Amino acid sequence: MRVSSVPETGNTITNPVIPGFHPDPSVCRAGDDYYLACSSFEYFPGVPLFHSRDLVHWTQIGNALDRPSQLRLPLDTASSGGIYAPTLRHHDGRFWLIVTNVSGDGNLLFTATDPAGPWSDPIRLSGVHGIDPDIAWDDDGNCWCTTAGVGQIRIDPDTGETLGPSRRLWSGAPGAKAPEAPHLYRIGDYWYLLIAEGGTERGHSVSIARGRTPTGPFEPCPANPILTHRSTDHPIQNTGHADLVQGPDGSWWMVLLGVRPGGGTPGWHVLGRETFLVPVDWVDGWPVVGELSSVMPAPPWPLRPQAVAAEVRDDFDLTELAPRWISLRQRLPEDCTTKERPGWLTLRARGGSLDDADVTFVGRRQQHRSCRVRTLVDVADGHGGLVVRLDERHHYAIEASSGQVRVRARIGPLDTVVASRPTAPGPVVLRVEAAAVQAVNDARTGPDFVSIGIEESDGTFVELASLDGRYLSTEVAGGFTGRVFGMYASAGSVHFDWFDYEPLER
């Protein structure tokens, strides 16, 4: 495995602090350490977990839900179904993770003594309804669960039992849609209820209210929404779904999701919703959010880059896959292994194509608007290849079979072979490159172009197709996820010697 280090940021930091498809961030502090969790939707393992010592540099330390007993995603789990909006907290010496599986199991609670795992099997919260659950404790030891809507109920976190009736709290601005992502905090003399509203598209925003008790009544902040980029041409849009945390010096900060649309009108985002960081001041008992931008002044404490950062290459030398690798709905050991052929990843086909819910797939999130992905594949025993995927109905792939490669594009109901080419016997290097558009010449210009082809033995790139990237965007496909580059098998067994991900820009 080859890695590249995170560049020093000097007097500035670069947003997003966790780029790519990492939405709905929830953060907690334990001593000098910070931990952050994100939604994972239809992908397994679920709920990626990150660690930081400075709120700026984050390293993935695992996935909270990495066993089938924790995460059930049936084959009829729709894309953008599955795991929604975790809340991560540290309380009474334990880490607590509460989350919704919208594809069957409802609201679930997990615990761990080490956030890197293992995490417990789920405690089912059958009496808690709604999505985006939050968990908070008052001074008397009562545990309050607050959900989108915004409703609240007291629970026993050790058993999942509900204690008393559910009641409605404050639900944001009158008429604003989708009051969700609630987080409840005790800060000073008040309890604060932070929510998102306006929907997770361009109207997304963050609002807050406060009360003297965790059950309210809550008075809204007169400056609501305290953060939104709606009706602006700001390069960061869809800002919302926030969580508050104190920095090492006692200052306050907010993590939140946002997108970076590109191209012409209406702007297309392809990386999904990403995790951003912004400072927060307190004025007259209310939080005032600082300016959110892609380059911001560094926090007033020493930055502590992680020893190992952005992964560039995986040679599949380990017996287990690194935590950044994700699969669709499940990962069966007999269909995905590095043990069959040492130093290679072997995928054995289940579903027949990328259109099928049970396709054998292993991928990683696209985290840069311009990047290059390469893999060496041996298809002597089957068919398979390399894909940039948004969902079953939106993907571009290059598939190898014995003596041939072909480029296939699936855009909604349209499915076509764009190009094909014979290849010499033996393994072949497949390549996909995303190149962000730097200048918009007309309103229909997409955010990037996706070049797909093979590499000759001397390293020469043979481009077979260059496809408009906007068709693999949320604005076209819908849903809540971002692009994932992956390897897949569509027939028989397919072997991958290495996978290389090279950022070409931030």
Distances in Å between the Cα of 493 and the Cα atoms of 113, 322, 351, 359 are: 39, 21, 12, 12
Fold of the 2-297 domain = Tachylectin-2; Chain A (2.115.10)
Mean pLDDT of 189-205: 97
Q: Quick check: is 180 catalytic?
A: yes
* Better-predicted residue by pLDDT, 466 or 424: 466
Residue 459 pLDDT more than 70? Answer: yes
Q: Choose the catalytic residue: 66, 132, 180, 311.
A: 180
Q: How many CB atoms lie within 10 A of CB 442?
A: 8
Mean pLDDT of 302-319: 78
Query: How far is residue 504's CA from residue 245's CA, in Å, rounded to a whole number?
Result: 32
| CB neighbour burial string for 18-40, b if at least 16 within 10 angstroms, e if fewer | bbbbbbbbbbbbeeeebbbbbbb
pLDDT digits (tens, 9 = 90+) for 232-281: 999 999 999 999 999 999 999 999 999 999 999 999 999 999 999 999 99
Q: pLDDT value at position 2?
A: 41
Mean pLDDT of 131-150: 97
Distances in Å between the Cα of 379 and the Cα atoms of 52, 197, 346, 391, 427 are: 40, 49, 10, 24, 7
Res. 24 pLDDT band, cuts 50 70 90: very high
Please write down the HEC assignment for all residues of 343-396.
CCEEEECCCCCCCCCCCEEEEEECCCCCEEEEEEEEEEEEEEEEEEEEECCEEE
Res. 441 pLDDT band, cuts 50 70 90: confident
Res. 304 pLDDT band, cuts 50 70 90: confident
Instruction: Provide the mean pLDDT of the chain.
Output: 95
Residue 280, strand partner residues: 252, 289
**Amino acid making up residue 218:** F
pLDDT digits (tens, 9 = 90+) for 324-371: 999 999 999 999 999 999 999 999 999 889 999 999 999 999 999 999
β strands within 38-168, DSSP E: 43-44, 46-52, 59-65, 83-91, 94-101, 106-112, 123-124, 134-137, 143-147, 151-155, 167-168
Q: pLDDT value at position 505?
A: 78
Can you read off the two tokens belonging to residue 21?
A: 């498809």
Say which residue the tokens 């404490």 belong to.
301
Is this prediction's pTM over 0.85? Answer: yes
Please write down the HEC assignment for all residues of 129-157.
CCCCCEEEECCCCCEEEEECCCEEEEECC
Counting runs of H as helices and runs of E as strands, what totals does the chain give?
A: 1, 38
Say which residue the tokens 């992956």 belong to.
486
How buried is 114 (Cβ within 10 angstroms: 0-12 exposed, 13-18 middle, 19+ buried)?
A: exposed
Res. 309 pLDDT band, cuts 50 70 90: very low
The domain segmentation of the chain, as residue ranges, is: 2-297, 311-503
DSSP character at residue 200: S
Residue 311 pLDDT more than 70? Answer: no
Q: pLDDT value at position 11?
A: 86
Q: What is the H or E stretch that residue 208 is in?
A: strand 205-211
Q: Quick check: is 201 catalytic?
A: no
Q: pLDDT value at position 420?
A: 97
What number does CATH give the domain 311-503? 2.60.120.200
